Chain A
Amino acid sequence: MPALTRQSRFILQIVIVAALGFVALPWYGIANGFWSFTWLGAPTEAANASGIVQALLHGRIWLWPLPLLLIIALIDVWRGPHARVIAWCGGLGLAYLLLQGFAIGLKGWNIAALEGLFGPVAPQMGLGGGAFIVGSAFLLLLSAGLALKGFMRGDVFLVSSIAAVVASIGLFVFYPVALILIEAARDADGAYGVSALIGRLLNPDIWAVTWNSLLLAIVVGLLTTLLGLGFALLHKRTQFRAKGLLRLLAILPIITPPFVIGLGIILLFGRNGIATWMMSEFLGVPPSRWIYGFFGLVLVQTLAFTPIAYLVLIGVVDGISPSMEEAARTLRADRWRTFKTVTWPLMRPGLANAFLIGFVESLADFGNPLVLGGNFDVLSTDIFFAIVGSQNDPGHASALSIALLFLTLSAFVLQRQWIGKKVYTTISGKGDSGLPASLPDGVRRLVYWTTLPWLAFTILLYGIILVGGFVKSLGIDNRPTLQHYITAFGIDWTDHGILWSGRAWPSFFITVELAAIAAPITAIIGLLTAYLLNRQRFIGQSAFEFITMLSFAIPGTVIGVSYILAFNVPPIELTGTGLILIICFVFRNMPVSIRAGLATMAQIDKSLDECSLMLRHGSFATIRRVVLPLLRPAIVASLVYAFVRAITSVSAVIFLVSAQYNLATAYIVGRVEVSDFGVAIAYSSVLIVFMLLVIGVIQLGVGESRRAARRAAPAALGMGGATT
């Protein structure tokens, strides 16, 4: 049977790679980093040795079961292979690898009782390259075994993908978060108990804050969705001329580092702000402090998160097949009725996704409430200060995190119900052409009247921020200066070449490097997950989907602290590396990638995949040649979002940055803390310009639309440079 030999060859390859990992690569983490290759100098020393040398020479005999399982798998390939044997080899190997890692740590046995049972053992450091290869191989063996058994119609790629996503989310989201949530059940004396948990959750303080967060998140979710939709319609369905400008301005807030929008708002509407001054001068409105609190937060969060809704919805509006609308028009529906009965319902999944993102973003937002919250407390900042503030009560922080999780979970469930089980596909293999219907007059006016003032407001805000980088201290001392830019980004030419003397350069280079590594990984894992969720059916799918949203729902602060708790000690020791920041970026931002993928995929008819599968393409080839090209808007959205968020995120990474890996935002926060707004704004401006360039490059590279062919002459006239 040809299918079996292909499976056998795959299993054989895995076993060979695993064997190489066990024999040739250092088993434990290398102090100078794997890529220093210092371990090649003394490959048999205890710190550098591979798994097999550790077991032979350094007394780590508990590693022997691992190669044994590989040999069993190898023998079985010769004789079959048998699904059950392969699956057990993989599963047992993975479980044993983790078990030994958690059982034996830096000081020998982690559990004292085991020492009495087995006697003392040599300590172990964090797992390294060899262990990583062997562990991944066991995961693939498990997948191959399950596929042989008939899971996912025997498609190894699908089973491996599910296994890989589940394993990585389990390791990098579930495990650390579980660690910190357990804290909520720990009382003041350090003992765990249900009564401590109940006492914390019934605390009225928590409920007051939860209400605040909920109210804010609902208002912001609604406003961002509506405005985002307005912009998407303005962009795709009207004759609005300056679409390039529109795109640029809508994207600006998303690439603005935290604190900066809040700062701009204060400079405008603060008690001493420009707008406030004008209103009191010309309209007689007395200066007040309304901006600090609920209304200020709504304003600034709507500014900040509308672009995300826009990015999600533009793919959705773009994906609505004009032939449906044309059919309605042919059946004599007027423009309004077409919009109401065809266009609008088709946008529902996109709207629900956009709302969910706005809602959750508002819940998790940290920078803005910090600057503008006033006395309006929200969960995210309260969690932060419960950990780092003078209370220093991690249990309270955990209880607040549970409240936050509960809100996100509820939103998730409601969103699923609203979308329901209807079908929203419009892109199918059937003939599909035509031009999108123009909007009914009422809707078009509404779109213009809401989006254009908002655009003007954004321009004004950014004008002020830009100016702020070029004056000594905006609002206090308005003399022009270049000093902030020189301080941050000075370059000297010396005899030895260029000297990057600006203070911001080191953090800038590191930030860009890490974000550039994280963005494609985020997009790949996110879209793969979206594909699994939308195109495949498997047991535990809903639970799987929920877990993927988890890291998004938990505020960065909690993620940051939980990462330190989970990854500072063996078996997985990552703190102080760039890798922990990359992982944090990937799993924080992956949910948006998943959402964007889901929203777009919901519109692509499954028959296209089926057609490809029937023509004997594997699922991998189908993804690559059919689904991916149709997913371009989602790919662009994912890459852009992942890159940008990696650069602008602050709350999660503030605990994870280290001396070698300091990030731009951590630096900016430090400047804001000492009210050195000039440098903070200058640095932010440079980041904004840089990110704009990168977004341009991504769009050129991946291409934006899957329907370039459909753009007829009149529509093309209106397209700005940024879209084509």
Chain B
Amino acid sequence: MKLSARSLVASIAALAALALSTGARAEGNLTVYCSVQEEWCQLMVNEFQKATGITVAMTRKSSGETFAQVKAEAANPKGDIWWGGTGDPHLQAAEEGLTEEYDSPKLAELHDWAVKQHETAKKRTVGIYLGALGYGYNTELLEQKKLEAPKCWADLIKPEFKGEVQVANPNSSGTAYTFIATLVQIMGEEEAFKYLKALAENINQYTKSGAAPAQAAARGETLIGIAFQHDVVTPSITSNAPIKNVSPCEGTGFEIGSMSIIKGAPNMENAKKWYDWALTPDAQKLGAQANSYQNPSNKAAPIPDQAPKMADIKLIDYDFAKFGSSAERKRLLSRWDKEIGAK
């Protein structure tokens, strides 16, 4: 009994030893939630530390995951700033009051679409880059099948592409939701759903993640993958994949990669420093170094050669206020579920 008592106490002491560490919160720190790809995040963090001397702790998660985390942590925020990732979760966070209003002195240097994002969110978020929707096709497969290269959204419903098109499931992917919203804005809702129904005949798989169709097309798992154009471009540069980017002739929608300060951020001052710095041309040109080819929001930031050219892309006047709202999203998604649905 003596022995067991002692070892119990010992094991409790050992457990207690583990029980007692909480995150550091010294001065000169900043916690960044980063929702673009890791190389880009890392580069941003390193350059910011060099420029300001502030110690940055960075967590990389997809924008959906980050949104879920920010929401769960709302009572006791751990993060300071949420940088990157598609705009809808940022808008949603703004709608739910999870993020902080801020007017950066750099706002004047930004493209209109970035400022508009700031207005839509009632100052709670701002655009940092733009990525246009499009699709990529596998050049080798196209040659094998001796088909004509597609150029428009309308080409994708041609019977020769039966079972050859891939797109994400809008229930899980923001990219696919952007696709539906884009079609609705180009064609009108009834026509758009007629198109989606015809397209469903050609779809081989509704993937979970938005970038997956581009990767599948790069690997030849599907002929055509609908995705954001920068996601289509990346594999062709990083691994010479036989994939060609198409910016549809009818025009196309886009995402605005955004940045928000988390409400109740423990390091509010440093969060604002990051915010201002991230809008400078110096910070915005880092994306291309990390093989990310979105278009930066600062007018003075250089656009990399490999990036999809803005001049070649016909952007529609995407209504983020309407199509970013929870109500419209729910309505379109449930209509999609009812009339089309993932087979």
Contact = CB atoms under 8 A, between A and B. Distances in A.
For chain B, give the interface size range. Answer: 35 or more
Nearest to A33: B21
B271 interface: no
B59 A34 contact: no
Contacts of B26: 32
Contacts of A678: 239
A310 B32 CA distance: 43
Given A13-B9, A126-B22, A132-B19, A675 B4 contact: no
A654 to B, nearest CB: 6
Contact of A573 (B76, B218, B239): B76
A670 B34 CA distance: 11
Contacts of B242: 476
B19 A129 contact: yes
A695 to B, nearest CB: 24
A459 B64 CA distance: 37
B221 A388 contact: no
A660 B24 CA distance: 9
Nearest to A160: B8
Contacts of A51: none
A388 B62 contact: yes
A10 interface: yes
A271 to B, nearest CB: 5
A132 B22 contact: no
B21 A10 contact: no
A390 B88 contact: yes
Nearest to A133: B16
A128 B37 contact: no
B60 interface: yes
Contact of A392 (B12, B56, B67, B220): B67
Interface string A372-400: 01110100010001011111100000000
Interface string B228-254: 000000110011111000000000000
Nearest to B30: A659
B220 A375 contact: no
A671 interface: yes
A674 B234 contact: yes
A289 B205 contact: yes
B4 A389 contact: no
A549 B163 CA distance: 42
Interface in A568-593: 568-569, 573-579, 582
Interface in A667-704: 667, 670-671, 673-676, 678
Given A13-B5, A473-B239, A388 B57 contact: no
Given A10-B1, A576-B23, A136 B18 contact: no
A564 B206 CA distance: 30
A370 interface: yes
B8 A370 contact: no
B160 interface: no
Given A133-B16, A377-B342, A564-B69, A618 B21 contact: no
A66 interface: no
A621 interface: yes
B220 A659 contact: no
A21 to B, nearest CB: 8
B329 A577 contact: no
Nearest to B342: A375
B2 A658 contact: no
Interface of B: 1-5, 7-9, 11-12, 15-16, 18-26, 31-32, 37-38, 42, 56-62, 64-65, 67-69, 72-73, 75-76, 78, 88, 92, 163, 169-174, 176-177, 204-206, 208-209, 211, 214-215, 218-222, 234-235, 238-242, 329, 333, 342-343
A670 B221 contact: no
Nearest to A667: B38
Contacts of A266: 219, 221
B230 to A, nearest CB: 11
B177 to A, nearest CB: 5
Interface residues of A, number: 86
Contacts of A375: 205-206, 342-343
5 contacts: A156-B5, A388-B62, A390-B64, A621-B3, A670-B60
A678 B173 CA distance: 25
Contacts of B235: 476, 675
Contacts of A476: 218-219, 235, 239-242
Nearest to B74: A568
Nearest to B86: A390
Given A390-B170, A476-B240, A582 B18 contact: yes
B8 A659 contact: no
A490 to B, nearest CB: 14
B7 to A, nearest CB: 7
Contact of B205 (A374, A565, A579): A374
A472 interface: yes
Given A289-B205, A655-B68, A670-B37, A576 B78 contact: yes
7 closest cross-chain pairs (CB), A and B? A34-B20, A659-B57, A473-B239, A388-B64, A272-B220, A385-B172, A33-B21
Nearest to B234: A674
A292 interface: yes
B59 A657 contact: yes
B4 A620 contact: yes
Contact of A654 (B15, B61, B177): B61
A620 B7 contact: yes
Contacts of A157: 1, 4, 8
Given A6-B2, A156-B1, A654-B61, A676 B238 contact: yes
A321 interface: no
Contacts of A19: none
Given A390-B177, A561-B68, A618-B3, A568 B20 contact: no
A184 B233 CA distance: 41
A493 interface: no
Contacts of A657: 59
A385 B21 contact: no
Interface string A490-531: 000000000000010000000000000100010010000000
A297 interface: no
A348 B268 CA distance: 61
Interface in A18-52: 29-35
A255 interface: no
Contacts of B60: 662, 666, 670
Given A31-B24, A389-B171, A675-B235, A568 B88 contact: no
Contacts of A434: none
A517 B17 CA distance: 12
Contacts of B72: 561, 564-565, 568, 655
Given A385-B171, A658-B23, A17 B3 contact: no
Contact of A292 (B21, B25, B205, B343): B205
A329 interface: no
A446 to B, nearest CB: 36
A133 B14 CA distance: 11
B118 to A, nearest CB: 22
Contact of A129 (B16, B58, B67): B16
Interface centre among A391, A574, A662, A678 (most CB of B within 10 A): A391
Given A132-B19, A658-B23, A390 B329 contact: yes
A140 interface: yes
A564 B73 contact: yes
Interface string A449-477: 00000000000000000000000110111
B94 to A, nearest CB: 14
Contacts of A573: 22, 76
A575 B79 CA distance: 11
B141 to A, nearest CB: 8
Given A390-B329, A654-B61, A33 B20 contact: yes
B20 A35 contact: yes
Contact of B1 (A373, A385, A618, A666): A618
A106 interface: yes
Given A374-B205, A503-B42, A658-B59, A577 B171 contact: no
A157 B18 CA distance: 22
